[in-house]
Amino acid sequence: ELGIGAGELQGVVAEELALVGALGDVQARAGQAERERDARPLMLCLERVAGAYHDVHERCPAVPKGDEEPGAMHAGRVGLAEAVQVVLGNGLNVIGETPRERI
């Protein structure tokens, strides 16, 4: 509604770095789950991604507060949120769960 498109992360804070790290671990945990024929490693990783996203959402909002103008920082956070949506959606599909339309 505010016209904020996805962009590159800028002014990254610790919570965002933790989320990016959790996202980076998903592929390895998916491979581990496939090799071991056990979805738990992927499930735990997806939980970490969701928890890390919650921290980012609470402390580093993608939507400007009050009279703040939308900027590049917000666009980067929108892009990060979109990446989380894709990763969680795909990960849930892999473990046989149907993701909700809105995550």
Which among 76, 78, 56, 55 is positioned nearest to 10, based on CA atoms?
Answer: 76
User: What is the per-residue pLDDT across 18-77, written as a single tens digit (0 to 9) for each?
Assistant: 999 999 999 999 999 999 999 999 999 999 999 999 999 999 888 888 888 888 888 999
Which among 81, 88, 103 is positioned nearest to 9, based on CA atoms?
Answer: 81
What confidence score (pLDDT) does residue 62 get?
Answer: 85
What confidence score (pLDDT) does residue 2 get?
Answer: 67
Q: By the 8 A CB rule, do 98 and 92 touch?
A: yes
User: What is the per-residue pLDDT across 63-81, written as a single tens digit (0 to 9) for each?
Assistant: 888 888 888 888 999 999 9
What confidence score (pLDDT) does residue 68 get?
Answer: 82
Burial letters 72-91, b for 16+ CB under 10 A, else e: ebbbbbbbbbebbeebbbeb
